[in-house]
Amino acid sequence: MDGVRIHGGCPSRMDPPAFHFDFAEVEAIEIVKGPYDLRYAGGPGGLVNVTGKAIQPGPGLAATATYGTQDMIHTSITASHGGDKSEAMIGYAYKYSLPPKSGDGKRITDIYPETSKNRYRDNDIDSRAYDINTFWVKGKQELTPGVSSELSYAYQDADHVLYPALLMDAEYDRTQRLNWTTLFEQPSADIDEIKFQLYWTDVDHLMHDEFRESSRPNMMVTRDYMMQTDANTTVVGVNLTGTLEVGPGELLSGIDYFYRNWDAVNKSAMHLAYQSQSMIPDVDNDQFGLFSEYSWPVSTTVTLKGGVRLDYAESDATDLSRTRLTDLYQPYYSSSLDRDNDFFTAGGNIQLFWKPVDGIEVFGGLASASRMPDPEELYIGLQRIPTMMTPTLTNWVGNPSLDPVRNNQVDLGLKYSTDRFFINSSVFYSDLRDYITLVAIPDPDEPGVGNLPAARGYDNVKARIWGGEISGQVSLPFDLYLLANLAYTEGKNRDSGEPLAEMPPLSGSLGLRYDIDTFFVEVTERFADKQDRVDDLLDETETSGWGVTDIKTGLNADRWSVYAGVNNLFDKFYHSHLSYQRDPFRSGVKVPEVGAFAYVTVAYRY
């Protein structure tokens, strides 16, 4: 967000980066499709950069309140003041809901059979699904003419967040974000801008199975939980970028450094009576990048853009002992393994933007980009001992000999617009070397002999992904608009011959909207095809196709707006694809999507 790297703390991705800020903080979301951003490390598939709300001149106040089915309450309030030399903003948001119900009328916490030990305890089935408080403050000061500094801080406390697909739920997830940016505008005739940024983010996360049957006391379970994971991650980053006029075009150059520490400790009654396991073994990760990008307006209709990026990274699992590496990790891999590793990568791209005639824009891009293996892919380690009750339990071992992913991609895009309609379409083809994928590793001992079961791990494979999307809008008579979009991606693991796991099926939407500025009403059909391209080697399961209808309406009057709607109007019972490979804590049960869901939002803006 605003160039600040936010990593989640949970090894099971309970808190992906987007979890860590509130919608009310967001002005816009910048999406770079494909490996065309050189400013930030680690985006061989693209970039999602969230832009925070800018402070408007004078006093400002914005408040929203939403009430929805299952007692969902989302509220936010922001106050700001923008002056000539200084600006300030303060905001607060609260979110709460009971667990939603799916199309069969059952809560998503009520998906386990009576006999399952992963079942929520009776009085937790309708407990809070989440309870989140977010607070943020931002101030900006002009230091001298052309030089300004901005400091912002945010604190988010998410409590009691339920994850029915996993074996555990979050007790808390606490995030801090601190960002300090100093901007020098036009410091000399040739230099447009120099930006210096220093940031710090920290996430503290605790998850356990206290709301599940599995934590009921017995001979083994002698604490409030059968299993718990305590995780923490911290990032400190520095960016320095400069924009210069060079020749006919503009040169953007910079350095991008960050340090990340990630630590997660698992305790389980089933593993040596709650003995701590270094699941993410206190990994120190340093990455240093250099980049330069030139934008050249060749003519009034053609712009060429290209650049390069170099990265060096070190990753050190400080809490992974030689013994644990030899006994737990090494048996699953043939290369010899080290607890500290370093990586060097280089990448670059060239892009063409062409407007042959009014209303038509063509984009062509060619890129080669890389990302370092993540600390989890390199070093996660969870030893689990299969029992009579759980014979299929596997170990979970990272692969410290992984290489960085390399993506060689080509993109082609076309935008066509007239007074009455626009169409935006694109296709891409991606040739991936050393793509990092999950793999099922067989029992390295003779089955039933020795103490190592089968495992899940990671490997570098050759892969390809191709896909495309098309979206459009048509103006019809009587203030009506037709909106449509369709997207498809297909991936193949070229080493195993299987489809790549976790690929979305063909999906899209079709909508009809009546809009006269002060009032609108819109009906949208969202749909996805079945996904039968699954990785059988990972026991990935197929998903059926589905279609649901959403309806919404809104009124705008001066400073007030009211919106209301119903999602999944016909209360369909359906599942979306993805997200069921993320061991080690998945239960294997698919969680259905939300059934009919009604909401009303009131917003005020001064």
**Residue 129 and residue 97 in contact, taking contact as beta carbons nearer than 8 Å:** yes
The token duo for 304 is 């060429």
User: Which of 1, 4, 14, 89: binder of Cu ion (CB under 5 A)?
Assistant: 14
Report the alpha-carbon distance of residue 225 to residue 517 in Å, rounded: 54
Whether the ω angle into residue 477 lies within 30 degrees of 0, i.e. cis, is no
Report the alpha-carbon distance of residue 540 to residue 525 in Å, rounded: 27
Residue tagged 């979890």 (tokens): 19
- Cα–Cα–Cα angle for 320, 324, 330, nearest 5°? 105
Q: Residue 477: is it exposed, middle or buried by C-beta count within 10 angstroms (0-12/13-18/19+)?
A: exposed
The token duo for 239 is 């960016």
From 6-14, 121-129, 269-277, 487-495, give the range in contact with Cu ion by CB under 5 A.
Answer: 6-14
Nearest CA to 390 out of 561, 167, 568 is that of: 167
Report CA 24 to chain centroid distance, whole Å. Answer: 18
N-to-C CA span, the chain: 25
Nearest CA to 282 out of 232, 247, 334 is that of: 232
The token duo for 138 is 């931002």
Residue 214's SS3 state is: helix
Bridge partners (DSSP) listed for residue 570 = none
Q: Which residues contact 264 (CB under 8 A, 6 or more apart)?
A: 9, 10, 11, 229, 230, 231, 232, 278, 279, 280
The token duo for 483 is 């909106």
Q: Site for Cu ion (CB under 5 A): how many residues?
A: 3
Residue 305's SS3 state is: strand
DSSP 308-359: EEEEEEEEEETT--HHHIIIIIGGG-SS---SEEEEEEEEEEEEEEE-SSTT
Q: Which of residues 196-225 bind Cu ion (CB under 5 A)?
A: 207
Work out whether 10 is an interface residue with Cu ion (CB under 5 A). yes
Closest residue by beta carbon to Cu ion? 10
Give the C-alpha distances (Å, rounded to integers) separating 572 from 67, 220, 334, 542, 567. Answer: 21, 42, 48, 19, 10
Residue tagged 């002005």 (tokens): 27
Give the C-alpha distances (Å, rounded to integers) separating 260 from 345, 431, 510. Answer: 18, 29, 42
Using only C-alpha atoms, what is the Rg of the chain? 26
Report the alpha-carbon distance of residue 537 to residue 437 in Å, rounded: 12
Nearer to Cu ion, 207 or 221 (CB): 207
CA 76, 549, 579, 276 torsion-angle sign: positive
Nearest CA to 499 out of 528, 465, 467 is that of: 465
Residue tagged 């979306």 (tokens): 576
* Minimum separation from the CB atom of position 94 to Cu ion (A): 22
Report the alpha-carbon distance of residue 554 to residue 558 in Å, rounded: 13
State the maximum Cα–Cα separation within the chain, in Å, rounded to a whole number. 78
What amino acid is encoded at 117 in this protein?
A: K
Report the alpha-carbon distance of residue 410 to residue 427 in Å, rounded: 9
Q: Which residues bind Cu ion (CB under 5 A)?
A: 10, 14, 207
